[in-house]
Amino acid sequence: MSEMVSRIAALQDYDQYRDLHWEGSFEDYLAVVRETPQVCRNAFQRLYDMIVSYGEEEYIDNKKKLVRYPFFKDPIDDGKDGIFGLDIPLMRLVHVLHAAAQGYGPERRIILLHGPVGSSKSTIARLLKKGLEHYSKTPEGALFTYEWVNLKDTGLAGEDDVYPCPMHDEPLRLIPPEWRERATQQLKLGNDRYRIKTSGDLNPACRFIFQGLMEKYSGDWGKVVHNHVRVRRLVLSEQDRIGIGTFQPKDEKNQDSTELTGDINYRKIAEYGSDSDPRAFNFDGEFNVANRGVVEFVEVLKLDVAFLYDLLGATQEHKIKPKKFAQTDVDEVIIGHTNEAEYKKLLNNEFMEALRDRTIKIDIPYITKMSQEIKIYQKDFSPERLRGKHIAPHTLEVAAMWAVLTRLEEPKKHQLTLLQKMKLYDGKILPGYTQDNVKELRKETTREGLDGISPRFVQDKISNALVREGNEGYINPFMVLNELEKGLAHHSLIASEDQRKLFGELIGVVKSEYDELVKNEVQRAISADEEAIGRLCANYIDNIRAYLMKQKVKNKYTGKDEEPDERLMRSIEQKIDISEGRKDDFRREIMNFIGHLALEGKKFTYETNDRLRRALEMKLFEDQKDSIKLSSFVSNVIDKETQDKIDIIKNRLIKYYGYNEASATDVLAYVASIFARGDVKD
């Protein structure tokens, strides 16, 4: 081999290749089962074990114990199909799979993912298929099937010497049903966790060969499996249509049930002489293909009613009916997904009652936590994918904020705005509200998360902003908000003009919130003199300590003892709306906080308490803004001293807040225009 080919060949893992292509006798397989009985798991058990193999994380949300499954972050593809903000729906899904794995009933149901367009239904199904495929390649997820060998002289497989099991059945199905339980007990197969319980019979083609060989050997089952059965490792693969199937309904006039259960191979009828010979049948329908794994039904409720019999049989009895053959056993997880419009049709269709009765519906709503919505856009617009384009700070944040606001229902009580409600949902603390209030807010809703704007619409508009000419290599929040506002006029899924108007008004709400965000950020950049803040903090602490202990403060310049500086203390406290009546409580709170840190051996700094840090920064900003002459930001004539100060602030924005040169210049100009209008909170 040439050098380059050799270097590529050296990348191959030969040990893994040998493991995945393991072959052995039926005796060898029984030894494997005795050693690792989990190889005989059914499809639901294997899918559930695959999910929990990535771990479980317990956490408390609104006083409620929840479980998060890291698998849904897509560790297989480094988060490519990661799902955010849907911990509760995903927990419900895993609970259903767990109950099905235990054999408590859900294994005889269709799992239906229901929700609005763009809510991750397809992504969840794709992730489950990908995870199962990957799991089957690991030692923990190993499973096996069999093939018939040495058939050339038997006449049972035409001219072929090897005939693979067309539906990749579990090899233990070769043991006749009437012997299986006794054989399992006598061979001591299985353990407390994995009990060997192989149900079902051979598929028609393998049954035909098995019966022919039993006749050849005068009923000697041992000779049949010793001479003609070879067991091999089975690797599930959607690409190769092994153990993972996907069915998407076509036009109603062109739907054909053979797409689910297989069809006759007319070329082989001449070879075998009859279309009722199972060897002349292609077991390549989606139900056949998905045996031992999972089948996804895309927009399952668009299926023709005639398909329901096959679907219901595969669900309830785990059997399908290929054309001209007896019912055939299947072992697979059936997952469908549909949108709201199709589901409403199901509810109104009396012919679909049997399907409704055999369906477990799991709602997959839109995300209602802004921090989780942001993660979707951060994943799609990561620096690696932007190719040199810059996204200014808060751009994705305001897009996510608007998307989430469109999905929330107006609070019925608590005197809350929609924006405040969104903040509470996102875990922010608002004075006077507790986790119990958040619970009440969620309970009083009827369709929250099922209406509103999908992430896809927002993603499209961010993309438009990125490629629009004249953006100088970067985009900012206003560019994206303008794209969103323009897009509303042509959004095909907005049901009414009232809704369109409401969504437009919410863009105004987001712009106002962005004004506050960016003003605070520039204020922090202006007052980001850590030494000055530290001195101001120390001065404040000395004064409140003296005030609470009814002592005096030593003036460091004159050396005289003076009364605590009430004017200084109030000028800081008023920045965070501490009223005159609450000032003593706040001061005691700060001193108790400092004492608590000291008991833990920790040192107090101005950054330790977020509220106090904010107040100090605002106070320092207030003291410095006049010397910096904010109005000069929007002036055409700037002296060198002012320009130097502007450059310092701009560099802080770039270094500490994620701006680039152009976006920092623009945000300073914008905030300066706000201050020039006098639009600043005291």
Torsion of the alpha carbons at 665, 669, 675 and 677, rounded to the nearest 10: -170
Residue 213 scores a pLDDT above 90: yes
Rounded Cα distance, 39 and 25, in Å:
16
Using one digit for the tens of pLDDT, what is the confidence trace for 271-315? 788 888 898 899 999 999 999 999 999 988 877 777 778 888 899
Q: 332: phi > 0 → left, psi -120 to 50 → alpha, else beta; which?
A: beta
Higher pLDDT, 535 or 71: 71
Confidence of residue 176 (pLDDT cuts 50, 70, 90): very high
Residue 633 scores a pLDDT above 60: no
Using one digit for the tens of pLDDT, what is the confidence trace for 384-411? 888 788 999 999 999 999 999 999 999 9
Region 77-102: what's the mean pLDDT?
Answer: 95
**pLDDT value at residue 680:** 46
Residue 589 scores a pLDDT above 50: yes
10-19, 164-173, 271-280, range with greatest mean pLDDT = 164-173
Residue 504 CA to chain centroid, in angstroms? 28
Confidence of residue 469 (pLDDT cuts 50, 70, 90): low
Greatest CA span in the chain, whole angstroms?
116
* pTM, to two decimals: 0.84
Residue 625 scores a pLDDT above 70: no
Tokens of 146: 């069999």
Find tokens 């998360």 and name the residue: 449
Sign of CA dihedral 476, 401, 510, 512: negative
Residue 462: burial class (beta carbons within 10 Å; 0-12, 13-18, 19+): buried
**pLDDT value at residue 681:** 45
Report the percentage of the chain scoring pLDDT > 70.
94
- CA-closest candidate to residue 194, choices 366, 34, 372, 431: 34
Using one digit for the tens of pLDDT, what is the confidence trace for 344-376? 878 787 777 888 888 999 999 999 999 999 999
| CB distance 189 to 197 below 8 Å | no
Tokens of 143: 């499973």
**pLDDT value at residue 678:** 58
Q: What does residue 294 show for φ and ψ, rounded to 5 degrees? A: -140, 145
Region 528-541: what's the mean pLDDT?
Answer: 82
Region 26-41: what's the mean pLDDT?
Answer: 95
**pLDDT value at residue 629:** 54
93-102, 152-161, 266-275, range with greatest mean pLDDT = 93-102
**pLDDT value at residue 478:** 92
Using one digit for the tens of pLDDT, what is the confidence trace for 79-88? 999 999 999 9
166-180, 300-314, 471-485, 563-577, range with greatest mean pLDDT = 166-180
| CB distance 288 to 321 below 8 Å | no
Residue 623 scores a pLDDT above 80: no
Determine which of 40-49, 291-300, 429-438, 439-448 has the lowest per-residue pLDDT on average.
429-438
Residue 630 scores a pLDDT above 50: yes
Rounded Cα distance, 193 and 198, in Å:
15
Confidence of residue 68 (pLDDT cuts 50, 70, 90): very high
Q: For residue 212, what are the CA distances in angstroms to 148, 151, 207, 209, 361?
A: 12, 11, 8, 5, 45
**How many Cβ atoms sit within 10 Å of the Cβ of residue 217?**
14
| CB distance 674 to 625 below 8 Å | no
Confidence of residue 471 (pLDDT cuts 50, 70, 90): low
Rounded Cα distance, 18 and 240, in Å:
19
The residue ranges of DSSP E strands in 550-598, in sequence order, are 553-554, 561-562
Confidence of residue 414 (pLDDT cuts 50, 70, 90): low
Higher pLDDT, 492 or 453: 453
**pLDDT value at residue 155:** 81
Rounded Cα distance, 90 and 127, in Å:
12
**pLDDT value at residue 157:** 76
Tell me the three state secondary structure of residue 369.
coil
**How many Cβ atoms sit within 10 Å of the Cβ of residue 127?**
23
SS3 content of the chain, % helix, strand, coil (to 5): 55, 10, 35
| CB distance 309 to 270 below 8 Å | no
**pLDDT value at residue 679:** 47
Q: What does DSSP assign to residue 568?
A: H
Tokens of 575: 């920045």
Rounded Cα distance, 289 and 283, in Å:
7
Region 78-98: what's the mean pLDDT?
Answer: 95
Q: 114: phi > 0 → left, psi -120 to 50 → alpha, else beta; which?
A: beta
